[in-house]
Structure 1
Amino acid sequence: MSSTDTSPADALPTIDCADEPIRIPGSIQPHGVLLAVEPSTLAIRVASVNVAEHLGATAEELLGRDVRDVVGPETVPALPLSDDALEPRRVTLAVPGGRTQTYDVLVHLADELLVLELELVRDAQADRPRRARVALRSLQGARDQAELAEIVAREVRAVTGFDRVMVYRFDADWNGEVVAEEAREDLDPYLGLHFPASDIPAQARELYTHQWLRSIPDATYTPSPLLPTDAPTTGRPLDLSGSALRSVSPVHLEYLANMGVRASMSVSLIVHGRLWGLVACHQVDGPHYPGVAARSSAEFLGRTASLLLQGKEDEARYVDSLTIAATAAELQRELTAQARTPLLALTAEDRVLDLVEGATGAAVRLDGQLRLLGETPDAEQVTALAEQLWAEGGGTVASHRLAHDLPGSDLPAQLAGTAAGVLAVRVAAGASRDALMWFRPEVLREVHWAGDPEAKGTEATPDGLRLTPRNSFAAWVEQVRGTSEPWTASQVAAVEQLALDLGDLLVRRKAEEERVASALRRIVLTERPPTPEGYTLAQRFLPSNHDALGGDWYDVTALPDGRVVFMVGDVAGHGIAVAAITAQIRHALRAYLIDEGSAAKALRRAGALVATLLPGELATVIAVELEPRTGRVRVSRAGHMPVLHLTAEGEAFVQGTRGPVMGVEVLGDAAFQEAELQLERGECLALFTDGLVEERGTRVMASLDGLLTRAQGVEREPEALCDALVASAPAGDDDVTVVVLRRD
């Protein structure tokens, strides 16, 4: 219908069957009688109107009478009672026409009233309940859930005599599938067909979770209303949740009629407190009245099957968990053995991929490093997916249909071949984006529906438009894309535990590193360097994101003749071993400075020392010799970044210095070239490591030019200058060290 083609009915609200008051319909099915009694006086307070047809007295005449005068004193049980019906009691009563009639009486409590339901005992009940004992032995012999469902369908049909009995299992979205069926040979099979969640609304499923059995002996019945409409104890319609005679939704009756079903019964299958499925019973050719005993047997089979289904599920989960536990234990051992390299421990030999059976790919991001295992999206897609999964925070993600769980995103369609499903967990103690992820590809499958699941109509009523049930149940095939095999609870629990173990390891490692780093920093970084009178010194050290221990260091050494040498150095690498090398180089340079009286000569000797005693290691140093009284400065360097000279006129790097990287053997002094300058009052020298300027993909000279630009206009105050330079450093993974000396 177009937006301009309207009718009066279009303005009415739409009434969904999910909104119907199924707990308080205000009426019962007419094959029995309901009497609600005040427990203290046993006076009848509510009666169904059809009581006149059964017992010969109208509802109005019975209200206020002692129920024992109507059904006999032995029929009313002693209190206390519960919300669940007691075992039925059989009573024979005089009925109109001078006859007697036998009833089964069910009793339970509701709305502070004693509810008695009298259900007529019919001759066609036979001895089917006796099969329950045989059925129990068959159920106990089932090997798995599929065989158990087949036995339940067969035995419930034998007990109740219905034309068709199906076991109907819910999926995670409450769509149902017929997983077992016993039926007359002339009926079209429903086995394997799916039914949409809308066929059994949420409020009905919630009621089925608490009431094990529902029966509709004749779906064409005329409801018998209750008198009075509202229970005197509550002022509301009587709650019939626990009633065997409760009248059902008119929409459901239409639904049964559309299926060609005249009578129905269902028994709940409940596993771990959740509605697992239903045993659905249908009669096609006319009314069908399984008695209380037969229904009790069917309920007993349903309850027993529920326990056995739960046992099979727990058994499968236990076997699954044993397999996962073995892999998890191996991962834990590797993590413990390689505590300083957890990324390697997880990814070597695809160990982390093996943790989750059925996963075809995995991604591990730790300390900002990403490793991909197996068949996965590319690195950029994995990063984008992680950002979308946790865009609003949250924890574990276990999705077997990304397209559904990331609405509005075009990423799932791109990833369907490798990651239609993802199991992901964040590593809380790691870096902000650290995570573990497993992937499963799309599994194309066909779903055979019992009719088009979207085929619903509406009809106008005085209260608004009412949704009507589907009227076609012909097989309708849908091809499902964008889904993977689902993740099991054991797999989810295993990856969450791995993330916790990994987080604990990272916390311990960080604490140990910080303890060692603190000790080593006191060795390689001078906390209170001596500063000559008339000068101000400031320094900053910013460790990398990946390791508290880097190769950066700085030092100030006073020479016997009054000169002071300021040095900044950088040893390639990170970690405790690098910190130890740093300490060796710094202490050697101190000794050589005292011995030689020249920074250039000290650098040359230290370079030879590194090349001889520490083969393969590389280091750079910049040294500034200052004569405090005059402000004369001599600059020497060994492969390091130049010194930045900041004056009132501008900023420039000190030119004319050169020297090889330490670790490369050099003969003689020719390879070192020093530069001299005059440091005037108010001028600054800035010594720094390459972490202040280096950018991936940018040439060094361009990066140095960028530093000159960033230094323009910055106040020539050492502390402020240090902060400004560090703050302007490009994002990177290296340490940053800055030392600023100003002549006051």
Structure 2
Amino acid sequence: MTSVTEPALPEIDCADEPIRIPGSVQAHGVLLAVDESDHTVVMASANAAEHLGQDAASLRGRRLQDVLGPDGVPSLAAGEESAEPRRIDVPLPDGTRRAVDLLAHRSDGMLVVELEPPVGSAPETAPRTRLALRALQGATSHGELTRMLAAEMRRVTGFDRVMVYRFDDDWNGEVVAEEAREDLEPFLGLHFPASDIPAQARALYTSQWLRSIPDAGYTPSPLMPGLNPRTGLPLDLSGAALRSVSPVHLQYLANMGVRASMSVSLLSHGRLWGLVACHHYAGPHYPSPSTRNVAEFLGRTASLLIQGKEDEGRYVDALAISATAADLTRSLAGNIRNPLDSLAGDGGALDLIEGASGVAIRVHNELRLLGETPSVQDVEALAGVLWSSGRTLVVTDALGRDLAATELTARIAGTASGVLGVPLTSGERSDFLMWFRPEVLREVQWAGDPRKAVQRTDDGLRLTPRASFSAWVEQVRGRSDPWAPAETAAAQRLGQDVDELLARRSAEDSRIAAALQQIVLTERPVIPAGFSLASRYVPSGNDIIGGDWYDVTVLPDGRVVLMVGDVAGHGMGVAAITAQMRHALRAYLVNEGSASTALRRLGTLIGALLPGKLATVVAAELDPQTGSARITSAGHLPILHLGAEGGRLLHEATGPALGVDVARDYAEVTVELARGDALVLYSDGLVEERGVHLLRSLEQLRDRAAAGGRDPDGLCERLLAGAPQTRDDVTVLALSRF
């Protein structure tokens, strides 16, 4: 049957199933727990009489060498956890002897001795091991290695079916290689849900390499006594070959028709990569301890080879990514003023992550999209959700699952089921790099309905053995190809490079700004007696050097000229032009004695020497003796006069902007400043707001200014507090007569 993916059931808590301390053993062998200090038997499995001719109760308190003979006392060096299996002859009460394979390990401060009767003659393991090892070492790819492993493991162990089973990131398993009897239905390519091997079982597989169940129909043999007398707790049987098996797992095997099984762990960098699962159907199957040792050796060897091939693949991928990253870094270093151009030019950041279909780059709040991406609005909305609670790395190949399915995630699934997002910290708070991968529709063939592994009961969800393993096909939606660790690392490194570049640029701008602003902005203007002046300059959010400037120039006759100007653009080039214009205007003012004439001459100069440049200036010529002020404007916003009747915008003083080829004089308007009056000169950053008509903004500015006192510092702060949030620089100059 076919199904569309449904929300996964939560992983079942199997902590109440004591798989490490089952309190019993498989019946084909006997277990003795021995005090290592004096070698007295403390615990024994109830089937001791069957194997040793003496019941468990009679064995307790006896010395191990009296039970097994002098050859039956294992010798473990200090710190050694287990001993190699060996065959001994055990004396029986009737005077005969019985051959057994002895295994020993330490657990809970005890020496655990396990005895298994041999099945058939002891096989010669060395030749088989050498042949299998050569086969594995000759594999050139993951696929070939797992196929070789399945074949060699079956040849060594004799099971009817051997599968190599690999886990995904969600701990679902897939059969990636199989060697089986020809009459068996193939399992190759089938998937098994994570609930088939619960978390605590996976943890045990990580620490114990091999698990054998020679007869899944066995009757467990309990340990006697049930609790370790030395600790008062059940004996930990994690390392015991005879450890009894979960009834759920035994039923699971029975439902599959499996009579005997064995599993060997496959690890990569200490993490469970997969399993070699061996099944036998014809009846019980008893691989000897030496055969199990060979199987474990092959599993450990294959694990190293798997790890090596994964590392090799990651290394090759990392080299390719590093080459692209190096090109990007060089481009960024050579274009420190415009990092966005380097990141977006010629593929740029998109080429860094192979398989990414699109990338969104936002630097200093400027957003650019490359390749196939969600819309600008959806990218903005996604960024707001991803980083609403903190600026951290985002890595997901199932956005709808990890972010919780919403209208947004459904709408962008076609281009952004996978997202790799790196927040930038040295620019604006909302800056980021974000790569996208589209939804990849997949069909997964499960060995039975994966949802049947759990059952809802009055006590909640309970683990149950699945009864059906018929192929069950699921359509997986909302998933992209996963992001490789090398890709994630490369994205983070690029984010760090951009952050460092932005930080260097900011530091450089600050140093240059400190010098240039001394030229562009007047720090300590001369103020006539009876007047007070305050100024504020707020740099652009895009560049610390803006086009705004202000000046206070004293003329030879004692008049004072207050000016605010604006050159189109931002950056150091604009600052240099601003300094030239300001100094030229000062010279013309001193020479001409009139702001209107000086502005006309400056306009001619700009048209001749700086074609294409555009600037505005407003000037107030103040006679401190009379309080009279003559206002002239070259395309600038009107000066605000605050008098006894409130606020008035002096629109009458208008003229063309500097750089506009219009040869005419500039209009002038004169106002009288009484005591308590004020003049406010400002740049467009104080009033311009997207979506609001400029006249409306000017009226709001006038009303805010008139609503409070005329103290210049308080006036500047009040006007800035009510200014719109823009990316432009802002200049305010306030003069009051007292």
- What's the TM-score once normalised by structure 2's chain length? 0.96
Say whether residues 1:442 and 2:439 are aligned partners. yes
Say whether residues 1:493 and 2:489 are aligned partners. yes
Say whether residues 1:707 and 2:704 are aligned partners. no
**Offset at 1:397?**
1.4
| 72-81 vs 648-657, greater mean Cα deviation | 72-81
**Offset at 1:135?**
0.8
- Confirm or deny: 8 A CA contact 1:459 1:467 kept in the other structure: no
**Offset at 1:458?**
4.8
Which amino acid is the alignment partner of residue 742 of structure 1? Answer: S
Which amino acid is the alignment partner of residue 540 of structure 1? Answer: R
Instruction: From the superposition, tell whether residues 720 and 245 of structure 1 become closer, same or farther in structure 2 (CA, over 3 Å).
Output: same
Hey, what does 1:404 align to over in structure 2? 401
Say whether residues 1:147 and 2:144 are aligned partners. yes
Question: Distance between the aligned counterparts of 1:370 and 1:465, measured in 2?
Answer: 47
**Offset at 1:705?**
2.3
Measured against aligned partners, the alpha-carbon deviations of 1:246-272 in whole angstroms (never above 9, x if no partner) come to 111111111111111111110000001
**Offset at 1:107?**
1.1
Which amino acid is the alignment partner of residue 605 of structure 1? Answer: R
Instruction: From the superposition, tell whether residues 235 and 372 of structure 1 become closer, same or farther in structure 2 (CA, over 3 Å).
Output: same
Partner SS for 2:547: strand
- Confirm or deny: 8 A CA contact 1:423 1:492 kept in the other structure: yes
Which amino acid is the alignment partner of residue 594 of structure 1? Answer: V
Hey, what does 1:535 align to over in structure 2? 531
**Offset at 1:176?**
0.4
Hey, what does 2:720 align to over in structure 1? 726
Instruction: From the superposition, tell whether residues 83 and 50 of structure 1 become closer, same or farther in structure 2 (CA, over 3 Å).
Output: farther
Hey, what does 1:507 align to over in structure 2? 503
Which amino acid is the alignment partner of residue 301 of structure 2? Answer: T
Say whether residues 1:384 and 2:357 are aligned partners. no
Partner SS for 2:189: coil
Q: How does 1:252-331 map to 2 (within 5 A)?
A: 252-331=249-328
Question: Distance between the aligned counterparts of 1:674 and 1:653, measured in 2?
Answer: 14
**Offset at 1:456?**
3.8
Unaligned stretches of 5+ in structure 1?
1-13
Partner SS for 2:452: coil
Measured against aligned partners, the alpha-carbon deviations of 1:445-470 in whole angstroms (never above 9, x if no partner) come to 10000000011465989x99853211
**Offset at 1:219?**
1.0
Measured against aligned partners, the alpha-carbon deviations of 1:131-182 in whole angstroms (never above 9, x if no partner) come to 2210110100111111111111111111111111100000000000000011
Question: Distance between the aligned counterparts of 1:16 and 1:526, measured in 2?
Answer: 72
**Offset at 1:488?**
0.6
| 377-386 vs 225-234, greater mean Cα deviation | 225-234
Unaligned stretches of 5+ in structure 2?
1-10
Question: Distance between the aligned counterparts of 2:257 and 2:87, measured in 1?
Answer: 34
- Confirm or deny: 8 A CA contact 2:14 2:200 kept in the other structure: no
- Confirm or deny: 8 A CA contact 1:18 1:201 kept in the other structure: no
Hey, what does 2:477 align to over in structure 1? 481
Instruction: From the superposition, tell whether residues 459 and 388 of structure 1 become closer, same or farther in structure 2 (CA, over 3 Å).
Output: closer
- Confirm or deny: 8 A CA contact 1:153 1:165 kept in the other structure: yes
Question: Distance between the aligned counterparts of 1:394 and 1:645, measured in 2?
Answer: 46
Hey, what does 1:359 align to over in structure 2? 356
Question: Distance between the aligned counterparts of 2:611 and 2:64, measured in 1?
Answer: 104
Partner SS for 1:309: helix
Hey, what does 1:31 align to over in structure 2? 28
1:43 corresponds, among 26, 40, 43, to 40
Which amino acid is the alignment partner of residue 220 of structure 1? Answer: G
Question: Distance between the aligned counterparts of 1:680 and 1:120, measured in 2?
Answer: 116
- Confirm or deny: 8 A CA contact 1:129 1:293 kept in the other structure: no
| 122-131 vs 39-48, greater mean Cα deviation | 122-131
Question: Distance between the aligned counterparts of 1:144 and 1:255, measured in 2?
Answer: 33
- Confirm or deny: 8 A CA contact 1:128 1:160 kept in the other structure: no
After superposition, the CA RMSD in angstroms is: 1.8
Question: Distance between the aligned counterparts of 1:497 and 1:134, measured in 2?
Answer: 45
Partner SS for 1:302: helix
Question: Distance between the aligned counterparts of 2:460 and 2:680, measured in 1?
Answer: 80
- Confirm or deny: 8 A CA contact 2:227 2:234 kept in the other structure: yes
Hey, what does 2:562 align to over in structure 1? 566
Hey, what does 1:336 align to over in structure 2? 333
Say whether residues 1:246 and 2:246 are aligned partners. no
Question: Distance between the aligned counterparts of 2:59 and 2:391, measured in 1?
Answer: 60
**Offset at 1:536?**
1.2
Question: Distance between the aligned counterparts of 1:460 and 1:31, measured in 2?
Answer: 35
Instruction: From the superposition, tell whether residues 165 and 15 of structure 1 become closer, same or farther in structure 2 (CA, over 3 Å).
Output: closer
Instruction: From the superposition, tell whether residues 260 and 334 of structure 1 become closer, same or farther in structure 2 (CA, over 3 Å).
Output: same
| 44-53 vs 145-154, greater mean Cα deviation | 44-53
| 94-103 vs 183-192, greater mean Cα deviation | 94-103
Hey, what does 1:697 align to over in structure 2? 691
**Offset at 1:97?**
5.7
Partner SS for 1:520: helix
Which amino acid is the alignment partner of residue 434 of structure 1? Answer: D
Hey, what does 2:587 align to over in structure 1? 591
Question: Distance between the aligned counterparts of 2:621 and 2:103, measured in 1?
Answer: 103
Instruction: From the superposition, tell whether residues 217 and 129 of structure 1 become closer, same or farther in structure 2 (CA, over 3 Å).
Output: farther
Partner SS for 1:191: coil
Measured against aligned partners, the alpha-carbon deviations of 1:563-585 in whole angstroms (never above 9, x if no partner) come to 11110010111010100111111
Hey, what does 1:649 align to over in structure 2? 645
**Offset at 1:516?**
0.1
**Offset at 1:629?**
2.0
Which amino acid is the alignment partner of residue 322 of structure 1? Answer: L
**Offset at 1:648?**
3.8
Hey, what does 1:74 align to over in structure 2? 71
Which amino acid is the alignment partner of residue 692 of structure 1? Answer: L
Instruction: From the superposition, tell whether residues 649 and 232 of structure 1 become closer, same or farther in structure 2 (CA, over 3 Å).
Output: farther
Hey, what does 2:220 align to over in structure 1? 223
State the aligned residue count: 728
Hey, what does 2:549 align to over in structure 1? 553
Which amino acid is the alignment partner of residue 719 of structure 1? Answer: D
Measured against aligned partners, the alpha-carbon deviations of 1:47-89 in whole angstroms (never above 9, x if no partner) come to 1111111111121111111111112223323343546422112
**Offset at 1:362?**
0.8
- Confirm or deny: 8 A CA contact 1:41 1:66 kept in the other structure: yes
Question: Distance between the aligned counterparts of 1:516 and 1:242, measured in 2?
Answer: 69
Question: Distance between the aligned counterparts of 2:114 and 2:460, measured in 1?
Answer: 34
**Offset at 1:631?**
1.0
Say whether residues 1:417 and 2:411 are aligned partners. no
Which amino acid is the alignment partner of residue 474 of structure 2? Answer: E
Question: Distance between the aligned counterparts of 1:41 and 1:586, measured in 2?
Answer: 100
Give me the identity figure in percent: 60
Hey, what does 2:667 align to over in structure 1? 673
Hey, what does 2:520 align to over in structure 1? 524
- Confirm or deny: 8 A CA contact 2:687 2:724 kept in the other structure: yes
Partner SS for 1:19: coil
Which amino acid is the alignment partner of residue 577 of structure 2? Answer: I
Which amino acid is the alignment partner of residue 342 of structure 1? Answer: P
**Offset at 1:336?**
1.0
Partner SS for 1:136: helix
Instruction: From the superposition, tell whether residues 185 and 607 of structure 1 become closer, same or farther in structure 2 (CA, over 3 Å).
Output: same
Measured against aligned partners, the alpha-carbon deviations of 1:346-388 in whole angstroms (never above 9, x if no partner) come to 1111121111111111111101111110111111111111111
Question: Distance between the aligned counterparts of 1:640 and 1:19, measured in 2?
Answer: 79
- Confirm or deny: 8 A CA contact 1:682 1:742 kept in the other structure: yes
Question: Distance between the aligned counterparts of 2:43 and 2:657, measured in 1?
Answer: 100
Question: Distance between the aligned counterparts of 1:427 and 1:301, measured in 2?
Answer: 47
Instruction: From the superposition, tell whether residues 644 and 394 of structure 1 become closer, same or farther in structure 2 (CA, over 3 Å).
Output: closer
Question: Distance between the aligned counterparts of 1:591 and 1:130, measured in 2?
Answer: 101
- Confirm or deny: 8 A CA contact 1:129 1:159 kept in the other structure: no
